Chains A and B, each alone.
Chain A
Amino acid sequence: MNKSILKTNTSRRNFLGGTAATVALTAGVGTPWIAQAASNVKIGLIHPATGWAAYPAAQLRYGAQMAIADINAAGGIKSMGGAQLEALLGDSQTKPEIGAAEVEKMNEAGVHAIQGCYQSAVGLAASAAAAKYNIPFSVDVGVSDKLVQRGLPNVFRMADGYGRIARDAATNLGEINRLAGSPAKTVIIVHEESEFGTGTAKLMTAALKEHSIEVIDTIKHANPTRNFDNVALRIKSAKPDIVMPINYPGEYVLLAKTLRQQRVDFMASYSVLGGGFNFKFVDDLPQIAENMIDVNHWYNPSSASGQAMRAKTEADGNYFTFEVYCAYMSVMFLADGFERAGSTDKEAVNAALAGSTIDVDFMPYGKTEMVNGQNMGSRAVAIQAQKGDVQIIAPSEYASAKAVFPRT
C-alpha cells in the first residue's frame, strides 16, 4: 500500500525538485552549524553518570559545567576570537572499557580535550585511549599516580595523587599528634579493594613509620560491603589509637555508623581521601561526624573566589564537595591551555598545558608547576568536622581552626 503511494507520487520532476530543495536546505541550515562547530572548543566530560558513583559524577559535571559557563560568559577563549567552550557528556558507567569507548565516540565527534574520570581505573583506560589520538586529557579526580607516570604526553593532573597525599597525610597526622603530646602510636587502616584503596593504604603504611606511628592491621573490604560489624569488632579487639578509612562514600558512611553502634573507642578517625566525608555527611549524621578528620582535596576558604563558588553551588541546591572545585579547576586548566596555544591543535595545546603556570586561588595550592603532567604545586589538606561545619586543621598556613585531637 505504502509502496504504491510512493511510486505514484515520486515522479522524475518531483525527485529533482525535492533533491534541489534538500541541497538548498542543507546549505542554508548546515553552513551556520558547521561554522559554529568549528568555532567551539569541545571538552569531553567522562564520568560515571550511572552506577554507584552517580552522585560524585553529577557533582563533577556540575563543577565542570559551571566553569564552562563562567569562561564563556567572560568572553570564551580570547586568543581564538572568543571561541566558546562546549561540553560533550560521556558516561563511563564505572567501567574502564566503557570509559575508553566514550573516548572513541568523542574523538569521532571532534572533541578537542577530555577530562575525567573519578575512578583511577577508568581514568587509566580512558587516558590511554585518548593518547592514541594525542587528545589533551585532564584528570579532574583520580588519585592513582600511574595516571601521570606512564610517559603519556597528553595526560595532566592539577590535583594531587595518592603518593603526595599519603606523604602529606602522614606529615599532618605526625604534627597533630606531636602538638597533642604524641598520644597516638597505632593505626588500623580499613580500605576498599581497588587501586585507590590498596595503593593509598600501602603508601600510608610506609609514610606513617617515619612519624613513629605503627600500622597494626590493614583490613581490605569489597565494593560494596553490606556489613561492617566484623570489621568493627576486629578494630575493637585490636584497640588502635587511630582508625584510618580509605574508601568510597557508601562504605565510608556505613563503617562510621557501625563503629558508633559497636561503641568502638579510639582517639580519632583519620581518613585519607575519605569518599563520604563532606558537608552532607556532617549535616546528615552530625553526632557521628563530629571531630572526624579527613585528608582530601579541599577549597581555600579564605579566598574570595572560593567563597563565591561555594555560595553559588549552595544557592543552586548542591553541596560544595571536592568534586565541584576539582572539576572547575580542570576546565580552567584546559581553557588556559587553549588560550595560550591560540588554537585547538593538539600538539600546541599539550605543549601549553605542559608549561602551565595557571593561578587557582580558590584552592590551597602553591604556584602551578607541571612536571611530567603532574602539578607539583597542589596539596591536600587535613579537615575536621567541628560543630556542624568543616574546618581546615593542617597545614598551618591554611588552618581555619585548631585540631580537636584526641577527639572529645
Chain B
Amino acid sequence: MISASLSMLPAAIINGFMYGAIYALVALGLTLIYGVLHIINFAHGAMLMLALYAAFFLFDLFNIDPYFSILIVTPCAFIFGYLIYRYGIGSLAKGKDQNILLITLGLSIIIENGALFFFSGDQQTVNLTYGFEAFDLGFMYLSYPKVISFFAALLMCAILWAAMSLTDLGRAIRAVAKERQGARLVGINVEHIFAVTFGIGIACLGAAGCMMLPIFYVDPYTGNIFVLVAFTIVVLGGMGSVVGALVGGFIIGITESVGGLLLGESLGQIGISLIFILILIFRPTGLFGSKV
C-alpha cells in the first residue's frame, strides 16, 4: 500500500501544481483586497460563483468557449467590483471595519440566494469537445483544461506583478496600502484607488471563474469550496504579495494532493490546517509578507 502510494508520488506532486495554480487564481483577487485594502471580503466565494455562472451562461447561450469568455467576463467583473466598492462597500462602511464585514457578509447572502432563486441549486457543467483530451506523461494524463489553467495562472500572476511593481497605478495602490493619509496628501484619489483595487481583485476572480469552469462545476455554493483555501494561501504567501499567492497556491495544492495520497482523501485535508497554524506561529507575516 505504502509502496503503491510512493510510486504515485510524482503524479500527486504534478497534480498538486495543477490545482495549486487554480487555487492561486482565486487567491490573487483575495490578496489584493485582503492584503492591500485590509478588507475581509466575505463575498469573495459568492463573487467567484457569479464569475463561474457568467462563463457558464456565455457557453450555454452563445456557445462561447470559457477561455474566450475571459475577455468578456474579466472587464465586466472589474466594472462590477469597482461599482460595488465605490457605491456600496466604500460609501456605506464609512471606514469602519465592522461595517465592511457586515456589508460583505450581507452581499454574499444576497448573491448566493439570488443565484439560488434565478439559477436553481442545480449543478451545471460544460461539456467541451476538448474537455477530456490530455497529454500522456506515461504515469498520468494531464488534461488540456488543467494545463491551460496552470499557464494562465502563471501569466496572470506575471501581469499583476508587473502592474503592481512597474506602473503608476501599482505604485499608487501600494502607497495607499502603506500610508493612506500620505497618499492623499500627494494628490492620490484614495477612494478611486480603493475602488480600482477592489475591481482588479474581482476581475481576477472573473478570469479564475472562466478557467475553472471546464474543470469543475458551478452551483450557488461552489465558491465557498475554494474561498477558505484562498484565505489560507493569502496568509501563507503574505498579504498583498502576488508572488506569495502563487507560491502559496502551489504549496497548498501539493500539500493537499500528497496528503490525500498518503493519509487518504478524507484525512489528507489536515495538512492545509497544519500549515495555516504553523505559519501563524512561526511567520505570521507570511512567506513573502513584510512587517508593518
Asked if B8 lies at the interface with its beta carbon under 8 angstroms from chain A, I say yes
Q: For residues 227 through 284 of chain B, which have their beta carbon under 8 Å from a beta carbon of chain A?
A: 229, 256-257, 260-261, 264-266, 269
- Identify which of B113, B121, B225, B226 contacts A57 (C-beta below 8 A): B121
Asked if residues B120 and A58 are in contact (CB atoms below 8 Å), the reply is: yes
Contact A230 B225 (CB under 8 A): no
**Residue with the greatest number of chain B CB neighbours at <10 A, chosen from A219, A226, A229:** A229
With A and B bound together, what is the CA distance between A263 and B113 in angstroms? 38
Residues in A whose Cβ lies below 8 Å from that of B131: 257
Given contacts A220-B264, A224-B225, A227-B256, contact A54 B125 (CB under 8 A): no
Contact size range, A:
35 or more
- Chain B residue numbers with a CB within 8 Å of A263 are 134, 141
Q: A226-B226, A230-B15 are in contact. Are A261 and B216 (CB under 8 A)?
A: no
Known A-B contacts A226-B19, A230-B265, A254-B217; A261 and B113 likewise in contact (beta carbons under 8 Å):
no
Interface window among A13-21, A175-183, A231-239, A341-349: A231-239
A236-270 to B contact mask, C-beta < 8 Å, 1/0: 01100000000001100110010011110000000
How many chain B residues touch A (CB < 8 A): the figure is 40
CB of A231 within 8 A of CB of B265, answer yes
B235 CB → nearest A CB, Å? 19
A262 to chain B, nearest CB (A): 5
Known A227-B257, A262-B141: A54·B127 in contact at CB below 8 Å:
no
Total residue contacts A-B, CB cutoff 8 A: 105
Kindly identify which residue among A52, A193, A238 contacts B266, using a CB–CB cutoff of 8 Å: A193
Distance in angstroms between the alpha carbons of A12 and B227 in the assembled complex:
61
Residues of A within 8 A of B123 (CB): 55, 249-250, 253, 276
- Determine whether A225 belongs to the interface, using a CB cutoff of 8 Å to chain B: yes
Chain A residues closer than 8 Å to B68, beta-carbon distance = none
- Report the separation of the CA atoms of residues A253 and B127 in the bound assembly, to the nearest whole angstrom: 12
Chain A, 44-59, contact with B by CB distance < 8 Å: what is the 0/1 string?
0000001111111110
List residues of chain A with CB within 8 A of the CB of B256.
Answer: 226-227
Q: A222-B265, A250-B217, A263-B141 known; A230 and B12 CB under 8 Å?
A: yes
How many Å lie between the Cα of A50 and that of B110 in the bound state?
12
Cβ of B253 to closest chain A Cβ, rounded Å: 8
Binding site for A on B (CB under 8 A): 4-5, 7-8, 11-12, 15, 18-19, 112-113, 116, 120-123, 125, 127, 131-132, 134, 140-141, 143, 216-217, 219-221, 225-226, 229, 256-257, 260-261, 264-266, 269
Can you pick out 10 interface pairs between chain A and chain B where the beta carbons lie within 8 Å of each other?
A51-B221, A56-B121, A57-B121, A219-B264, A220-B266, A227-B256, A229-B140, A230-B8, A230-B12, A234-B261
Q: A230-B257, A254-B216, A284-B127 are in contact. List 11 more A-B contacts (CB 8 A).
A: A51-B221, A52-B219, A52-B221, A225-B265, A227-B257, A229-B18, A233-B11, A237-B4, A254-B217, A261-B134, A263-B134
